[in-house]
Amino acid sequence: MAAGRRPARAAAAAVVALLAGASLAACAGPAGNARVATVDASGDGILRIGLILDNTGNQDFLNASQLAAAKLAVKEINAAGGHKGKPVELLPEAIGTDTGARARDLVAAKADVVIGPTDSSRAADAIDVLARAKVAVISPANTAPGLTSYKSGGYYFRTAAADIAQASVLVKLAKDGGAKTIAVVHEEGDYGKDVSVAVSAAAKAAGLGTSVDAEFKPGQAQQAAATAKQAAPDAVVLVARGGAQGAIAELNNAGLAGSKLILSDGAVNQYGAGLGSKALDGARGLLPGTFPSAHFQAELVAVDPGLKDMAYAAETYDAVNLAAIAAAAAQDDAGASIASKLLAVSGGSVPNGGGDSGETLACKGYQECLDVLRRDKRPDYDGESGPVNFDSNGDVTAAAYMIYTFGPDNSAKMTGAETARSSAS
């Protein structure tokens, strides 16, 4: 999750707040690359999983869904025999924004793998501590593109796609609507700039012309809208978060409304009467992830009957399962061993085989993947969030998106799904 974002994937509404920029300048990470290293077993026989729940204030609802998902995964793993016959331990949770301090607490508690944090701007503090301690880190929510190249020594992974992965889907929505040319209007800041550049590149690859890419500050989108209108595009891709509503209003004033608009994930919301009548009628947008199955929702509610939102639940559930499957593949619970097997068990490409070049079989859930291992095959975990297939940077190479279409009342309904794939390796 980028700083300040409040998703509600399982609800009809998506609540999105302003991006607060984050510096991702990496500290000196540990030497080597744990993702492809050959390591000796060094665990103590007990797989311990820690959580970093860093959501407070109006974002604290995000903690419950992740905690429920982690508890559900651990419950199922232990029902299948745990790790090497011993129960997997989910370390006691704590909530707070000081991810560095939480990481140090988890190292002291002998965590082998840590799930989290949520906020991209707080990821570095946790990664630095955990990577130095050779603890694997899997975030279910970090989306900042800069984390792809963060120096973690190969200990950092994420089951959420980077923000820029949505670019090809945004362009496809425009092209499917008959557009030959697009204009991009983006909010200032890392999110707007990164995604808008990716959209322009995706448009070129898809044979669409990009007539203009106009930037605006929140509340000051009038000139950007005028620039887009002058370019006379077939469609406008709006890349925004906190300033999205004001930008939509200005685009409407410029005659760019309804089905001409394609909205990035940060701009999708249930606007209703907050915008003029039919301002978004026919507009399309996307949200990352997949709509949770009824079975998965029921299982989560059984863990936490008070659960109101399921944002990042699928990604958290998959992160815990992947960690346990990696430990089973390595026959060791140490963080270095887990990190060295995550590419393989996720279905990713392992450089030079890495000792994991055997026959691959798709599997869902810990028990099914454990059965694959027992048959001397390589598991390819496909989870609740979809295929993972980590690349050499620890990023997912298949990103699922839910497509939303707006009606005349400026409310959005889910109308489809798309998958963006990366060629990264």
CA diameter of the chain: 67
Element (H, E) at 343: helix 335-345
Nearest CA-CA partner of 18 in 4, 30, 28, 29: 4
Would you state the pLDDT for residue 421? Answer: 83
> DSSP letters of 400-415?
EEEEEEE-TTS-EEEE
Would you state the pLDDT for residue 29? Answer: 58
Pairing status of strand 378-383 against strand 360-363 = parallel
Would you state the pLDDT for residue 358? Answer: 73
Positions of the chain with pLDDT lower than 70, given as ranges: 2-29, 31, 352-357, 423-425
Question: Whole-prediction pTM value?
Answer: 0.87
* Calpha distance 148→413 (Å, rounded): 32
Phi then psi for residue 88, to 5 deg, are: -75, 135
Pairing status of strand 378-383 against strand 48-51 = unpaired
